[in-house]
A and B are shown apart, each in its own frame.
Chain A
Amino acid sequence: MENAAIYARAGWFQATARQRVAGLLDPNSFTEFLGPSERIQSPHLHLFDLPSAFDDGVVIGRGKLDGNDVLVAAQEGQFMGGTFAEVSGAKIVGLVRAARDHKELPQTVLLLLDSGGVRLQEANAGELVVAELMRAIVQARSAGVAVIALVGGKAGAFGGAGLTAATCSRIAVSEQGRIAVSGPEVIETNKGVEEFDSKNKALVWSTDGGKNRRLIGGADAFAEDSMEGFRAAAIALLAKVPAFNLKTMQAEQERLAARQKKFGACDDAVSMWRVLGIKDPEAIRDMDGWDFAALASSIKEANHDAR
């Protein structure tokens, strides 16, 4: 791959999956599995007169992150919204199962999620593959594999991708990264604009965006929107990963119950941040990345092992 320095400052948000893999990992360390020459494509898209991708929108393989051996899966958010489908999802499931079952393989999996959820044209296969992935992640974690989600692309991590992220050991998110279940437009269509005005960018951002997720403990690290930013966040997260067991799940139960209670009366994110003890919650939006990351590190609810 070409000069890594050129890519370091390059944005993550705008990048393709392949560019992210190249920018995240150590130079020339990546080997792809089931690459595009193998043409393992969707068997269903042609029924809808839709073009396929040679890799069905997911790049998987192994490489090095700061000298550590890792497995990587990156979703291409620009292809069919990065959605989970029969083949695209099976590639990721296979990768996690490989780590789970083969100790000689890297015991860290980086999931570069960039997905609107399940591919509607293959809805049943997509939904099911998310369930298989969640089970595989839990089993892998129990076997000592660290599974780290990186969220910062245009498609975000919605639906099945949002649930997948929250199944991982650790999550890094950028300001542009959004994590949620139902998208704002879907909520607006179903419940009305009073429930969620999906055109109100500030509202969308403060509800689903990376800064909110980081502050309330829905993400464990905040990354600058660049290759270097996600690299640094991923390397930091590698160091300490919670075990998956009863104790962790009991701690998460307490954490989520406390959150429910704490924010029960809050009508918007700014009021949640006020409850967290942030003196000037209105300033969060325009706060620069460094200052924000430092602030987030000081919030008790944002820093936990209960995942």
Chain B
Amino acid sequence: MTLDKVLSGLFPSGHDVKANAAGIIIGTAKRKQGEAIAVIGVANGAALGTAGALPLAQEVLRVVAKGGDIPILVLVDTQGQLMARRDEMRGLNEYLAHLAKCLLLASQQGHRTIGLEYGKAAAGAFLATALATDFLIGLPGAEPAVMDLPSMSRVTKLPIDKLKELATTTPVFAPGLDHMAQMGAVAEIWDPHKPLDEQLEQALKKASPVDTRDELGAQRKGRPMAAKVAKKVIAEATGRRDNVASA
């Protein structure tokens, strides 16, 4: 779906949401019953660098500073972090983490955050945006990826055919919305033929600052161990002891 279709589907009553030339989305929209919702994001498959992260974070902080509980929608169609020596030199990691922290702050301060990926979503930009929300939705056609298969093949030195074959037996590494849903990252995949505004209302009801993605990943059999391991750590930390000599 194009950004315009996503926006008109989500906000038939109106919005002032725009993407600028760099693909940075900022605006406000009206929900189904008329309440306001803040909208930020990355459009047109743009890469997210230091310059883009700043205004997005600023908008989140503006919403938080205002008080109240206006929710924030994060729309995502990004090719990933900007690959530029100068951005790295200036500490791109801090800029991307700052955006994620602002979204996490908003969640903590009572603003429900909803991520909606409708295009690409990759690596560092994925972490700074979609993965920093309370509830992440995918629209069919979205292509979340940590790394594309050809690059993965190059780095791991595994033939791409072998990777493709493995990808049919496990959702743990290959790109794809279904894989992300199975892992617990994507809470739900929407039906684009049903009204998006109503689906948004339902999502807002389900969103919460409590992170249950690992439990979801276990239920959906995408991550058999993550939730169990985290719980076991807590149990051992608060309970019994083991001693191991090592060097």
- B114–chain A nearest beta-carbon distance, Å: 15
Q: Which residues of B contact A164 (CB under 8 A)?
A: 97
Interface residue? B21 (CB, 8 A)? no
Tell me the smallest distance from the CB of A207 to a CB of chain B, in Å. Answer: 5
Pairwise interchain contact A132-B50, C-beta atoms closer than 8 A: no
Q: Provide the bound-state CA to CA distance between A259 and B183, in Å.
A: 37
Interface string of A191-215 (1 = CB under 8 A from B): 1000110000001001110001100
Binds A, one of B4-12, B35-43, B87-95, B193-201: B87-95
Q: Which residues between 206 and 247 of chain B lie within 8 Å of chain A, taking CB atoms?
A: 209, 211, 213-214, 217, 222-227, 229-234, 236-238, 241-247
Contact across chains for A120 and B147 when beta carbons are under 8 A apart: yes
Residues facing A in B166-221 (CB within 8 A) are 166, 169-174, 179-180, 183-185, 209, 211, 213-214, 217
Which of the residues B58, B211, B226 comes within 8 Å of A87, measured between beta carbons?
B226
Q: Give 1 or 0 for each of A129-140: 1 = CB within 8 Å of chain B CB.
A: 111101110110
* Whole-angstrom distance between the Cβ of B199 and the nearest chain A Cβ: 23
Say whether A244 faces chain B, with CB atoms less than 8 Å apart.
Answer: yes
User: Is residue A250 contacting chain B, with contact meaning CB distance below 8 A?
Assistant: yes
- Asked if B22 is an interface residue, CB under 8 A from chain A, the answer is no
Q: Is B73 in the interface zone, CB < 8 Å from A? A: no
| B1 CB-CB contact with A under 8 Å | no
Chain B 38-65 interface mask (CB, 8 Å, partner A; 1/0)? 0000000000001100100110010011
Task: List the B residue with the shortest CB-CB distance to A105.
Answer: B237
The answer on a CB contact under 8 Å between B61 and A37 is no
Which residue of the partner chain A has the closest CB to B60?
A249
Chain A nearest CB: distance from B122 CB in Å?
9
Bound CA span A293–B128, Å:
31
A-B contact count (CB 8 A): 292
Q: Which residues of A contact B95 (CB under 8 A)?
A: 256
CB contacts under 8 Å to B, within A84-103, are 86-87, 89-91, 93-95, 97-98, 101-102
Q: State in angstroms the CA–CA spacing of A129 and B131 once bound together.
A: 10
> Which single member of A34, A163, A212, A268 contacts B127 (CB below 8 Å)?
A163
Instruction: Determine whether A291 belongs to the interface, using a CB cutoff of 8 Å to chain B.
Output: no
On whether A132 and B61 interact (CB within 8 A), knowing A86-B223, A102-B238, the answer reads no
Q: A44-B172, A47-B170 are in contact. Are A213 and B127 (CB under 8 A)?
A: no
A229 at the interface (CB under 8 A from B): no
Cβ of B230: which chain A residues have Cβ within 8 Å of it? Answer: 90-91, 93-94, 97
Q: Which residues of chain B are within 8 angstroms of A208 by Cβ–Cβ distance?
A: 88-89
Residue A218 interfacial (CB < 8 Å) = yes
- A94 in contact with B243 (CB, 8 Å): no
Q: Which residues of A contact B105 (CB under 8 A)?
A: 138, 244-246, 249
A134 and B185 CA atoms in complex are apart in Å by: 14
Residues of chain A lying within 8 A (CB to CB) of residue B236: 33-34
Cβ of A36 and Cβ of B88 under 8 Å apart? no
Number of interface residues of B (CB under 8 A): 84
B interface, over-half SS: helix
How many residues of A are in contact with the other chain, CB < 8 A? 102
B42 to chain A minimum Cβ distance, whole angstroms, is 15
Of B91, B97, B123, B173, which contacts A213 at CB under 8 A?
B91
A70→B96 CA distance, assembly (Å)? 28
Contact pattern, B 137-169, Cβ under 8 Å of A = 1, otherwise 0: 000000000110001100110100000001001
Contact B233 A33 (CB under 8 A): yes
B119 beta carbon closer than 8 Å to chain A: no
Whether A124 lies near B179 (C-beta < 8 A) is yes
Structural contact, A71 and B98, CB atoms closer than 8 A = no
The answer to whether A166 touches B131, judged by C-beta atoms less than 8 angstroms apart, is no
Bound state CA distance, A164 and B225, in angstroms?
22
Asked whether any CB of chain A lies closer than 8 Å to the CB of B132, the reply is yes
Task: State whether B231 touches A260 (Cβ < 8 A).
Answer: no
Taking the complex as formed, is A40 at the interface, i.e. its CB lies under 8 A from any CB of chain B?
Answer: yes
Q: Are A124 and B101 in contact (CB under 8 A)?
A: no
Q: Is A51 an interface residue when CB atoms closer than 8 A count as contact? A: no
With an 8 A cutoff between CB atoms, is A292 at the interface? no
Residue interface bits A225-254, CB-to-B below 8 A is 1, else 0:
000000000000000000011100110110
3 A-B pairs with least C-beta separation: A94-B233, A166-B97, A162-B93
4 more CB-based (< 8 A) A-B contacts, given A40-B225, A181-B93, A189-B151: A95-B237, A138-B101, A263-B89, A266-B86
Listed by A's residue number, 11 A-B pairs whose Cβ atoms lie within 8 Å are A40-B229, A91-B229, A162-B92, A166-B91, A181-B93, A184-B85, A186-B83, A249-B102, A257-B58, A260-B50, A263-B90
